Chains A and B, each alone.
Chain A
């Protein structure tokens, strides 16, 4: 019988799935806005704008929940890579993904209650949640309230740098989502890690 460990509390799981739903909504509506008039625009511009605005504001609120929840529960440390031998541990984890996983070797840093994520996950989640998300949300809010943006930026409309920043940050999150979805298949069974995020219990490789 495999060993089980309780990793994610209810509030964190609720936050995660709401975040996932919002990100998917924002990606779909965001693409529809960016590629308006083309085949990539699956939602009409006017509707996509409304969806994107409401989902974006909800994502902001959800980020506040994430931030406060992490501060209160002390969970914020989970997303900060420990500097102790970080390069060495990151290399071991990289080698695992690149080679050892094909040999059927066990994970070098299996999740525990104390440390939920491996070094590569930690540094990625840290960058996504503490760098990319604030940039994405701040640029999105500036887009929503364009008077906050500078009037002019090197001879072009001041919204241009805001738009480019929002697009780059949004696309980086989209790429993260793709790899995140793939990594979610790396449990003992294809559905194991997804079940972990539903139940909170992590099932270790036998």
Chain B
């Protein structure tokens, strides 16, 4: 959640009478528990412990579609709640699916009404993601995203912590591409979202990428960041997002036997050493896309050159033989 996000549902004034009624309700049900429908809802990834699962179920009892339809308490700020719903299904698959909500949101959010200043105690990403602090934050600080919006553009502006999945859990590169490009296109392809950050006119994506053949096909097969970030030593994806003037425009960087996709989108295959099968180079790419120049078959190439050599040798040999035979005939005559 970005620092500028509206406060959670804790600011509706509460009368003493209401509080008393709530206390009675609490005594009556023994404890605050999830509504009946929510008990079946997954609240954490399978690897999470029971405590996490239980704690998350309490949060999702309100912060879910089910919670919005059947609020467990009568005194809730429904408008605020509607803006803070979490898809439990997506959350449990996400990178944070094994975490308890309070691990990031902090203890103040475990009580209801949530404390007015609770949002200021939400953890910042680098508190857990140490490598982000070392590498990604300095990279991010070189970008226009940061320079133009230092106070309202952070990690979560792109990376939704409740839904973002690890590449390996998505199952295919096309899904990785869809997820990652979705982050960029959510703003760069939406007048409404774009206007939340700037008054500048939103550049038309098609127009900006008209040098690219079949832009839509490219956007389905490679990530925006595969061109819009500098190459990183040792592979991986830099967070130094590049604008159009500095983004990669040399097609052969990807369309090449040593395609940069090997150390970017497909780098985990390089780690497994499975880049050549049945004569094809960069085999993993083939499952998702035939990339001209990067996925050719070396056996077929070899066969082609052997045939070429045979034809050339045949023609030159035949020509020489004709010339010699002609010489001999002329001498004889």
* Chain A residues within CB distance 8 Å of chain B: 33-38, 41, 44-46, 49, 53, 97, 101-104, 146-147, 155-157, 159-160, 162-164, 167-168, 171, 174-175, 178-179, 181-182, 185
Q: List 10 A-B contacts (CB under 8 A).
A: A34-B292, A35-B293, A36-B252, A41-B252, A104-B325, A104-B326, A157-B289, A157-B290, A182-B319, A185-B319
Considering the complex, give the chain A residue whose CB is closest to the CB of B294. A36
**When the two chains form their complex, are residues B287 and A37 in contact, meaning their CB atoms are under 8 A apart?**
no
**When the two chains form their complex, are residues B292 and A33 in contact, meaning their CB atoms are under 8 A apart?**
yes
Closest 4 CB pairs of A and B: A36-B293, A37-B256, A159-B290, A182-B315
Chain A residues with CB below 8 A from B292, complex form: 33-34, 36, 163
CB contact list, B41-62 vs A, under 8 A: none
* Interface residues on chain B, size class: 35 or more
Chain A residues with CB below 8 A from B213, complex form: 49, 53
Chain A residues with CB below 8 A from B211, complex form: 46
| C-alpha spacing A16/B211, complex, angstroms | 33
**When the two chains form their complex, are residues A156 and B286 in contact, meaning their CB atoms are under 8 A apart?**
yes
Chain B interface mostly helix, strand, loop or mixed? helix
**When the two chains form their complex, are residues B293 and A156 in contact, meaning their CB atoms are under 8 A apart?**
no
Chain A residues with CB below 8 A from B314, complex form: 179
Contacts A156-B286, A168-B300, A179-B314 supplied; 4 other A-B pairs, CB < 8 Å: A46-B250, A102-B321, A175-B308, A182-B318
Q: Contacts A45-B250, A101-B322, A182-B319 given; indicate if A36 touches B297 (C-beta within 8 A).
A: no
| C-alpha spacing A159/B251, complex, angstroms | 19
Among B290, B295, B311, max chain A CB count under 10 A is at B290
**When the two chains form their complex, are residues B251 and A163 in contact, meaning their CB atoms are under 8 A apart?**
no
Considering the complex, give the chain A residue whose CB is closest to the CB of B305. A171
**When the two chains form their complex, are residues B256 and A160 in contact, meaning their CB atoms are under 8 A apart?**
no
Q: Contacts A34-B296, A36-B293, A178-B315 given; indicate if A157 touches B287 (C-beta within 8 A).
A: yes
**When the two chains form their complex, are residues A103 and B325 in contact, meaning their CB atoms are under 8 A apart?**
yes
Chain B residues with CB below 8 A from A162, complex form: 290
Considering the complex, give the chain A residue whose CB is closest to the CB of B211. A46
**When the two chains form their complex, are residues B311 and A147 in contact, meaning their CB atoms are under 8 A apart?**
no
Contact flags B262-302 to A (C-beta < 8 A → 1, else 0): 00000000000000000000000011111011111100100
| C-alpha spacing A101/B293, complex, angstroms | 43
| C-alpha spacing A33/B321, complex, angstroms | 37
**When the two chains form their complex, are residues A104 and B293 in contact, meaning their CB atoms are under 8 A apart?**
no
A37 touches which one: B258, B308, B315 (CB < 8 A)?
A: B258
Instruction: Say how far B123's CB is from chain A's closest CB, in angstroms.
Output: 42
Considering the complex, give the chain A residue whose CB is closest to the CB of B308. A175
A46 touches which one: B217, B251, B300 (CB < 8 A)?
A: B251
**When the two chains form their complex, are residues B325 and A160 in contact, meaning their CB atoms are under 8 A apart?**
no
Q: Does B257 contact A (CB under 8 A)?
A: yes
| C-alpha spacing A160/B289, complex, angstroms | 8
Chain A residues with CB below 8 A from B255, complex form: 33, 36-37, 45
Chain A interface mostly helix, strand, loop or mixed? helix
Chain B residues with CB below 8 A from A37, complex form: 252, 255-258, 293
| C-alpha spacing A33/B255, complex, angstroms | 8
Contact flags B214-229 to A (C-beta < 8 A → 1, else 0): 1001000000000000
Chain B residues with CB below 8 A from A182, complex form: 315, 318-319
Considering the complex, give the chain B residue whose CB is closest to the CB of A145. B214
| C-alpha spacing A33/B257, complex, angstroms | 11
Instruction: Say how far B248's CB is from chain A's closest CB, in angstroms.
Output: 11
**When the two chains form their complex, are residues A178 and B304 in contact, meaning their CB atoms are under 8 A apart?**
no
| C-alpha spacing A34/B256, complex, angstroms | 9
Considering the complex, give the chain A residue whose CB is closest to the CB of B310. A175
**When the two chains form their complex, are residues B311 and A104 in contact, meaning their CB atoms are under 8 A apart?**
no
| C-alpha spacing A174/B307, complex, angstroms | 11
Q: Does B312 contact A (CB under 8 A)?
A: yes
| C-alpha spacing A96/B321, complex, angstroms | 13
Q: Does B331 contact A (CB under 8 A)?
A: no
Chain A residues with CB below 8 A from B326, complex form: 104
**When the two chains form their complex, are residues A175 and B311 in contact, meaning their CB atoms are under 8 A apart?**
yes
Chain A residues with CB below 8 A from B257, complex form: 36-38
Considering the complex, give the chain B residue whose CB is closest to the CB of A181. B315
Considering the complex, give the chain A residue whose CB is closest to the CB of B212. A46
| C-alpha spacing A33/B291, complex, angstroms | 10
**When the two chains form their complex, are residues A157 and B288 in contact, meaning their CB atoms are under 8 A apart?**
yes
| C-alpha spacing A179/B318, complex, angstroms | 11
Q: Does B129 contact A (CB under 8 A)?
A: no
Q: Does B329 contact A (CB under 8 A)?
A: yes
Chain A residues with CB below 8 A from B287, complex form: 155-157
| C-alpha spacing A146/B289, complex, angstroms | 11
| C-alpha spacing A163/B250, complex, angstroms | 22
| C-alpha spacing A156/B211, complex, angstroms | 27
Instruction: Say how far B41's CB is from chain A's closest CB, in angstroms.
Output: 34
Chain A residues with CB below 8 A from B294, complex form: 36
**When the two chains form their complex, are residues B325 and A159 in contact, meaning their CB atoms are under 8 A apart?**
no
Q: Contacts A34-B293, A45-B293, A102-B321 given; indicate if A160 touches B286 (C-beta within 8 A).
A: yes
Considering the complex, give the chain A residue whose CB is closest to the CB of B252. A45
**When the two chains form their complex, are residues B251 and A171 in contact, meaning their CB atoms are under 8 A apart?**
no
